[in-house]
Chains A and B, each alone.
Chain A
Amino acid sequence: MRADPAEYRLFSPGNLQAVLSLLAGEPAQWLPIAGGTDVMVLYSAGKLPNRKLINIWNIPELRQIEVFSDRIRIGAACTYTALRRHDIVSREFPLLATAASWTGGIANQNRGTLGGNIANASPAADSLPALLVYDAEVTLISVRGERRVAYRNFHTGYKQTALAADELIRDISLPREFSGYVWHTRKAGARNAQAISKVCLAALGQIANGTIRDVRLALGSVAPVPLRLDETEHALTGKRIEPALIETARTSVAKEIRPIDDIRSTARYRTAVAGNLVAEFLYKLAAEGANA
């Protein structure tokens, strides 16, 4: 049943303070809408529970990418297109730039935002594993002030987040510490564009003296939340990459993930592919990391 526009309100305050006041005045009543690539789909299908929407597409503070010596700060309403076009994002955060290029098609990349992807909190979102391995931090803002939350603690359960009812995601901050890492990302989906992943990997690693000095692995679509593979990382760190270690990695990945059967894939397929993707990364790390 299609939504009747007359039943919905959409207010465009045009500045951040007014947005926050509205959110604080009636907490949980107003749903922020930026590029609409998630919200409008639900709305059009008549499945949007909220009747009051607040436009944050035109808030300048949320659209900036600021570069500091030690980090970059990405406004929550920056689009995938803005991420792909940004020089520092492309050069130093290729996992994020690549994930942005996989998200939807060009038209959806022109509208979809990184903050929206985080707030929508789908475990299948393509950009979120990249944020996990880059140790992203999100700034949440409300009339009460702002607070920073490590992105790895942001998703508290399936579609559950640390965002309070009066808070808005203001920005996503990434430390500029990973330009020397070997990176690998891969999406297994029915189609490159416009397809939600069956499994998606973002991985970073460094080799020193023939052993893994640091490794960072995150997977999408294998758990209720985007998942950082702490135990597998721990099992790999300090080790030399050889066939036995790759088998150890597969076993550990299979133990650590919690995939389900759904319309896109099966738990069994996801487990096999997750192990394959991590193995593929380790081969790449062994080949490229020695020279890095």
Chain B
Amino acid sequence: MNPSQESCAKCEVSFTVNGEQKKVLVHPMERLLDVLRNDLGLTGTKEGCGEGECGSCSVLLDGMLVNSCLVPVAQASGASIVTIEGMSAHVLMKPLQEAFLECGGAQCGICTPGMILAAVHLLEKKPEPALADIREWLAGNLCRCTGYMQIFEAVAKAARGKVAK
């Protein structure tokens, strides 16, 4: 088969999203962001800039934080994807939610799913991060409301709370 013919048409791509096996019929260059939102109805993943600058579309792809606007869906074939919707049962979710509420870490909410996922990605690798770690690991997630300090405080508080328990 001529590969160029084959890959122009829609194709089936299978992956795991939030623990569930999914199969979608898509053009291979569709952005993972659009497939998550439009085909799978997972609208917790936001589009901000659409060019990898803002982190609103962050998801975990095989455990790694990525901007889903920069991932062609065909590259997610066979992968395990976690979106903000998949975080509800995560052990870090309750401390992070509470800390974001208490510290005022969420205002308009567009950046929040990405911020939470970036924070989870950090805390899974560094459970007791220094402020410099939090600043670095969240640097790819832009917020136009809070001025960031409330978010950094929230992540630090969630980490302390988690460690204390």
Contact = CB atoms under 8 A, between A and B. Distances in A.
Interface residues of B, number: 36
Contacts of B81: none
B32 to A, nearest CB: 10
A8 B4 contact: no
Contacts of A10: 7, 28-29, 72, 74
Interface in A1-46: 3, 5-6, 8-13, 22, 26, 33, 35-37, 40-41, 43-45
Given A9-B8, A13-B3, A37-B52, A55 B74 contact: yes
Interface string B136-152: 11011110000000000
A44 B65 contact: no
A152 B121 CA distance: 37
A210 interface: no
Nearest to A193: B139
Interface string A68-81: 00000000000001
A12 B77 contact: yes
Contacts of B7: 9-12
B55 A105 contact: yes
A37 B4 CA distance: 23
Contacts of B69: 40, 44
Contacts of A104: 52, 140
A104 B30 CA distance: 23
Contacts of B53: 194
B140 A40 contact: no
B75 A57 contact: yes
A45 B51 contact: yes
A231 B121 CA distance: 45
Given A22-B3, A43-B29, A52-B4, A193 B77 contact: no
16 contacts: A5-B26, A5-B27, A5-B30, A12-B77, A13-B3, A36-B72, A40-B72, A45-B51, A53-B72, A57-B75, A106-B139, A107-B55, A107-B65, A107-B140, A108-B140, A111-B66
Interface of A: 3, 5-6, 8-13, 22, 26, 33, 35-37, 40-41, 43-45, 52-53, 55, 57-58, 81, 101, 104-108, 110-111, 192-194
Interface of B: 3-4, 6-8, 26-31, 50-53, 55, 58, 64-67, 69-72, 74-75, 77, 118, 121, 136-137, 139-142
Q: Which 5 A-B pairs have the closest CB atoms?
A: A105-B140, A193-B139, A5-B27, A10-B28, A8-B29
